Every structure is written in C-alpha cells, then in structure tokens.
Amino acid sequence: DARDFDDAVYAEPTVVTGRGKKPNGWRLLVAIADVSHYVQTGSPIDVDAYDRATSVYFPRRVIPMLPEKLSNGLCSLNPEVERLCMVCDMLVTADGDIHAYQIYPAVMNSHARMTYTEVAAILANTRGPEAAQRKARVQDLIHLHEVFRALLKARQKRGAVDFDTTETQIVCDESGRIEKIVPRTRNDAHRLIEECMLAANVCSADFIGQGKHVGLYRVHEGPTPEKVELLRAYLKALGVGLAVSDEPRPEEFQRIAEATHERVDAEQIHMMLLRSMSQAIYTPVNSGHFGLAFEAYTHFTSPIRRYPDLLVHRVIKAILAGKKYHLPALPTPGDAHEKLRKRLHKDRVQRGHEKGDPRHRQSPEMQDWEAAGLHCSANERRADEASRDVEAWLKCKYMREHLGEEYAGTVSAVTSFGLFVTLSDMYVEGLVHITELGGEYFRFDEVRQELRGERTGIRYVLGTRVRVQVSRVDLDARKIDFRLVHEAGEAALRGAVRDKAGAPGKPAAGKAAKARATREEPPERRSPMQALKAAVKKATDKARKGGKPRR
C-alpha cells in the first residue's frame, strides 16, 4: 500500500573477524532517502514539516508530513533511478553483533521493489514460482534472511520484549465501502526489514553519542513503581506465577510473555504488560530503550514521514563535516506539548529521578532540543489517536450494517458494568451490558477480573467464549453493544465457567460489586484496558491500606 519508499537493504557474506578467507559474518547496508538534502533547515517546507512532525495514516488516505512531490517523487527510492541517500554500512558477526559500522552520504540505484508477501513467499520456497520470477534477487534475499536471523537471535538474547498482539486492517472497495476487517499479519519479510532498521537506528544513536553532539534519542523507560504494583496484582490474580522485581528488566517481561503465549487470555496479558510500560518519547537525554533492550537508540530510517529522523540526518551530516547543527527557530509549543510535559514530569517524580534529572541544569540549546522532542512526541500521539478514532468509527459503520446478526466472540475485558467481547472473525470489540447476562445478580471481582452469578455460579472471565448478537451501534460515540445469545437453556452459557455443582462459590476476593438489573450506563464508559487498570488499582490501593481481602 505504500507510495513513499525511504529505505533499501542489501547484504553479502564477508570476513568480519580474524584473518581467514572464509566468511564469518555479513556486510549489511541500509540506505535511507536523503531528505535533508532537499528540505533545508528553516525553509517554509521545513517549518511546515516540523509543525506536522509525522505523517498520519488512515485506512484509505495518508496525510503526509512532506509534499507528495518529495515524499513520492524526489525522495522516494524508486527502482532503476538514481537517488541521494544516507547509508549505514555495517559488519555483522555470525552471533548477530555489530562489529563495526560507518555512515556516509551516497547515490544509489535500486535494483528491485518487492512486496512483503512476495519476499515471504520466496524465502518460504526458493524454488517456487515467485522465486522463478526473481532469479537474480533470490541469493540476495537469502543473505538478508541469514543476517536477520542472527540479529534477531542477538536481540532476543539481550532480553528484548516481543508481545503477541493483534492489529487490524480495514479493507475498502473502490467506492470506500468497507469490504472486510482482517488481522494485519506480520511475516518474515516484515521482521527482516524491521531488524535491519533497528540495526541502523542503533548505529545512528551510537554515532551521535560518539560524536558528542546533541540530538534526539528514542527513549523508552520501564514501568513506574505504581505500574509495577498494578502489574504484580494483575498477574497474581490470573495465576501467573512469575515475579516482577521492583526495577524490572526487559527479560522479565519477555519471560512472562513466553510463559503465557498459549493461554486463552494471552493477548490481554501481553497488552497489560505493554501498557504497564512508559510510552516511548523523543528526548536529547539518553536513558536507553527498555522494550528493545538497547542502551542507546534513535530514529534514522524514516525521514520522509517522521521529523525526528530528519533531525538525526542533519546531526549526522554535521558530525561528518566536523560542524555543529543548530536547531532553527521553532513554532511555539501547543497544548498537547504542555500536557505531555506534565505527564513526563509526574513519571519522573514517581521514579524518584526528579532531583537528579539533568533537565534541571540544561543549557538553552538542550532546552530547545527538549522542546523539539516533546513537540514530536505529542504530535505522534495525536496522529495515533486520530488513526484509532477513524478506525473505531469505520468499525461502527461496518457493524451498523450487521445489526441483528450473530457472531462468535471471546471476552477481552471484564468490568463492573459488563463484558467487552471481541468478535472472532472480524476483530471488532463491543460491550455486553451486565443486564444482558441473565436474570440474576452478578458479583464483580476487581482483581480476578470476573463476573460471577450468585444463583448459578456461572463465571465470565478473560478468554470466555460466547456467542453474541449485534444489538446497537452509536456512530458518534464509537460504541457497539452486543446481546448475549441465549440458546435453549444450558447451551446459552457455552464457554462460560461454572463452579462445581453449580454453586455460587465463595465470595470473591476484595469487595465484590453486586450488579442490579438496570440499563444505566456507568458515569464514564471506560475502554476495556482503562476499566481493567482502574479495577486492579482500586484493589491494590485497598490492600496497601491494610484491608484484608476475603478468602
């Protein structure tokens, strides 16, 4: 679907270490479009690009950061034409370590543009029909796949976190009508490019650090103490018998992800792990990347669609020329910038870092870079929220055409006011209000995240499989309501959990919430993850204050 191509890759076996003639590693080249050659610092295009800070992606439209004549034309690494680029030229050992690298400007000519699907098919069968059509490139792809596996193995060894979460893709026809909603699948071709880009980004961060030049790093800190407590309570309630230390390391999260990946509630657990971490930001103060397990990391590989990458290119060019890059006069930050600044300040206070934080003694230059990083981070969040909002609206529009239809689904979150259910075939989420669960009281267990019927003992928990009917869609509010399908008695409760002998069981841990048969919505209908986090936090706060949970 892409129209702007800002990266190209190439690999070949070579001697990396020792004096032997037999290759024991690879030379990996990552070429990135040289946008900084065309977008001059302080020019009108540059000011506008900074104001946008990122391209915004919607299902049928992209709002580009740069004019299309640049993003899809002069700066796009189209095949069989010469293009200016910045190259990260690396030597990678058989163990996946980057032995040496250099970064330099170049002119390149792309030999082929290939789709992820095509590359994945060739890697899966190097003698298949797709490979036959690309004979000249098959060996190149094999070399790239070899270096990818080495880089991935090294990153996993360091404890980098990789979660199983499902992203969706909305497929529209030519008239804009939604045809289907499908999971966005990642194959080895996606991972190959991703690993090459990670390697180039790491080298770029190291280059800026070695050059002792201020720049923007992509920083991802681990969870705050408060989020660690919430995560512990959540994992304990779900019976995940793995500890989380006070200052967790990435490998702890990876162990939990690996230990739970076959559970029915794996995606919910992995999402909670993900949400317990801080969001990544752009900042001139490097403190590493927790999720990727890198000591220094930046964004170098997408200057067509991300302004921080463009700044990184300019800094690298300045270092290569023995000069210093100075930020231009930038527009006044907006409300989003200020909100993010306050939130980051709160996080630093929670970590106990505020007194020793180098931001307190920053030079005017560092303060300018900090402001640029905050602006880019805030606009990145704004773009993500806009994309999610449009996707939610489109899903509601699609489901409005399917009112009354029945679907199989899985409980993805449990709240005091009902169940959030994700449909199995189309990955759309909606609410089954508690009044739709049957004619009895249901108790809500805040920590275990379950609803339990007092009379029948029926329990609805994460991962429970149910059948639902689409009952209501509110386009403006982006809400979808389901009704639990009641089929001939006991079959209605298929997939729900029942206590032994149908007994209601012992009272749930913590203060259970008794749901009454009213159709009132909660004061604020939280998202599934917000509801889950709020419930776990409430239960944890009670435990911290000394209240003994019921057993």
Dmax over CA atoms of the chain, in Å, equals: 79
Give the three-class secondary structure for 537: helix
Does some domain include residue 260? no
How many whole angstroms separate alpha carbon 531 and alpha carbon 222? 22
Q: Which two tokens stand for residue 207?
A: 């280059």
Residues 356 and 207 in one domain: yes
Greater confidence (457 vs 501) lies with 457
Does some domain include residue 111? yes
The closest of 141, 143, 151 to 92, measured between CA atoms, is 151
CA 467 to chain centroid, in Å, comes to 29
pLDDT of residue 492: 40
Domain boundary among 375, 393, 411: 393
Domain boundary among 360, 393, 426: 393
pLDDT digits 0-9 by tens, 381-425: 999 999 999 999 999 999 999 999 999 999 988 999 999 999 988
pLDDT of residue 542: 53
Residues 368 and 426 in one domain: no
Does some domain include residue 284? no
pLDDT of residue 517: 38
How many whole angstroms separate alpha carbon 34 and alpha carbon 462? 48
Structural domain of 424? 402-544
Report the chain's mean pLDDT, rounded to a whole number.
Answer: 85
The closest of 9, 11, 7, 16 to 35, measured between CA atoms, is 7
Helices in 416-511 by DSSP H: which ranges? Answer: none
Residues 55 and 184 in one domain: yes
Highest mean pLDDT, choosing among 3-7, 32-36, 172-176, 226-230: 32-36
Residues 118 and 14 in one domain: yes
How many whole angstroms separate alpha carbon 420 and alpha carbon 476? 19
Strand partners, 306: 54
pLDDT digits 0-9 by tens, 518-533: 444 454 555 555 655 5
How many whole angstroms separate alpha carbon 14 and alpha carbon 33? 26
Domain boundary among 370, 393, 416: 393
pLDDT of residue 535: 58
Which DSSP symbol is given to 402? T
- Strand arrangement, sheet containing 98-109: 7-14, 25-33, 82-93, 98-109
Q: What is the mean pLDDT of residues 53-77?
A: 93
Does some domain include residue 259? no
pLDDT of residue 509: 36
Residues 409 and 507 in one domain: yes
Alpha carbon dihedral 496, 499, 504, 505, in 10-degree steps, equals -130
Residues 208 and 88 in one domain: yes
Residues 464 and 528 in one domain: yes
Q: Which two tokens stand for residue 322?
A: 């023995």
pLDDT digits 0-9 by tens, 8-27: 999 999 999 988 889 999 99
Q: Report the phi/psi class of residue 56: left, alpha or beta, with left for phi > 0 and alpha for psi in -120 to 50.
A: beta
Does some domain include residue 237? no
Among 68-72, 321-325, 356-360, 491-495, the least confident range: 491-495
Would you say residue 488 has pLDDT above 70? no
Residues 406 and 379 in one domain: no
Residue 257 neighbours by CB distance under 10 Å: 18
pLDDT of residue 27: 98
Greater confidence (362 vs 523) lies with 362
Strand partners, 218: 282
Does some domain include residue 230? no
Length of the chain: 551
Which DSSP symbol is given to 268? H
Residues 435 and 378 in one domain: no
Would strands 458-461 and 513-515 be described as parallel, antiparallel, or unpaired? unpaired
CA 373 to chain centroid, in Å, comes to 19
Residues 345 and 455 in one domain: no
Residue 77 burial class via C-beta count within 10 angstroms: exposed 0-12, middle 13-18, buried 19 and up:
buried
Residues 382 and 408 in one domain: no
pLDDT digits 0-9 by tens, 219-275: 999 888 888 988 888 888 788 888 899 989 999 999 999 899 888 778 878 888 888
The closest of 290, 58, 284 to 159, measured between CA atoms, is 290
The closest of 298, 260, 237 to 448, measured between CA atoms, is 237
The residue written with tokens 């058989």 in the block is 94
How many whole angstroms separate alpha carbon 198 and alpha carbon 195? 5
Would strands 465-474 and 458-461 be described as parallel, antiparallel, or unpaired? unpaired
Total number of domains constituting the chain: 2
